[in-house]
Structure 1
Amino acid sequence: MVDQQQLWDVEAAQNYDTPGEAMFSDGVLGPTVEVLAELAEGGPAVEFAIGTGRVAIPLSETGIEVSGIELSHAMIAQLRLKVDEGSIPVTQGDMTTEVVGKNFTLAFLVFNTIANLLTQHDQVECFRNAARHLQTGGRFVIELWVPQLRSLPRGHGGSVEVSNPGYLLVDTYDTLRQQVISHHVRFGPDLADGREARISRTPHRYIWPSELDLMARLAGFELETRWADLDRSAFTAESRSHVSIYRLDTRCA
């Protein structure tokens, strides 16, 4: 069993934010906040796995009341360096069971985080917990990558997903258990002689969009729309990610 507290420890929390870059760039955060504010329709929102407040803080600055659930004490501590409890209340706990209120108009879980739940059971329970928080007709938004099994060479169990200066991401797959391990390799200018390279690993359970839709239906949701990204681009067979928007079915009320 993976110890998520150990995985998302103080060091991980302190190094999580990359202001102005990658997922913290205006090009990513701008569309994300715009979409979530629109979907909240002026009502309160709850973020599952709120982390260091990457999305919650700018969303609250639009006037949306945001609460959060976060398992990692270290991530909450990092968030608290930026905003206080009165601005964004956060409950430490498991997003499959912890309930922080009811009648939210929006619940959201971004940046692949539902895959941190390593069993299908827990992923279904996450949907059910979202339903507990929402008013009838409320929305649950999930941002998730599409498993890239087609990119695996025959006879190989892994693929290079990102190759940037100073960073490599290699994913290895266990297709029998629907598990993937992401190997993050970070290195400095001395890569050629093998120095300054550092490897960390994060486990995930990958989910196909169709499986995600079935999980949603088990919890009383219906798929409202699906995009390739939070920029609202069209989802196609070639999309490497998706944003799925589920609505709590009024017939299940």
Structure 2
Amino acid sequence: MPSDKMLHIPTPDGRSDAFAAFPDGGGRHPGVLMYADGFGIRPVLREMARELAGHGYYVLVPNFFYRQGPAPVIELPEYIGEEARPAVLAQLMPLIVAHTAERTLRDADAYLSFLTTRPEVAAGPVAVTGYCIGGLLATRTAAAHPGQVAALAAFHAPVSADGPGAFADITAQTHFGHAESDLTPEALAELDQALDAAAFDYTSEIYPGTTHGFTMSDTDAFDSVGLKRHWNRLLPLLDRTLAGSR
């Protein structure tokens, strides 16, 4: 079983609490910065980080809402069903709106600096991955650190929110896995046109039959086939790009 711990990351605006999972038994492992969805660090995210750590990675999951307090920043039900969702989102949306691109990039500098100096993390490039709003943060991070981020993966994420120019500086091998309910085929074609113009190595696909949030087993959106497809895309991507860091 992987080991895990809670950590605190110094940032220009304070200290961000974070969850880390990594292989047991010592040694140094490729680093992965994982951004949670808007609901934040909770049991399902810890499980996903541990799952990834079990494949040989050091996984750091920061609380990007740390300015409002430690995770969970709002009280979450054990299962975020349709009845609970509106009230939860009403509390979260102001935090999401306040988390500007400028904040994202200040934090990304701090998170990557912290990750790459951990004694358990191997020298070399890292990966960034994220879910929902976390996928947008991962995309911004990869664009801001092209020499350091070798792999980018985002799932059911508004990756085009910053416009087509946001992809221009990405050099990471990239996978975008979209929920069917989030993106029409026409919107996918438009996104892929922007990705083609940015000229980096990517795959971008709609996961059939999925709705927004399909990777999260504590929500009504969860789709086990979609989650499996996510792992089938993410793990080979990391293996290809971070093998030299093992």
- TM-score w.r.t. length of structure 2: 0.32
Q: Which has the higher contact order (CA 8 A, sep 6+)?
A: 2
Q: Which has the larger radius of gyration?
A: 1
- TM-score w.r.t. length of structure 1: 0.31
| Higher share in strand | 1
| Higher share in helix | 2
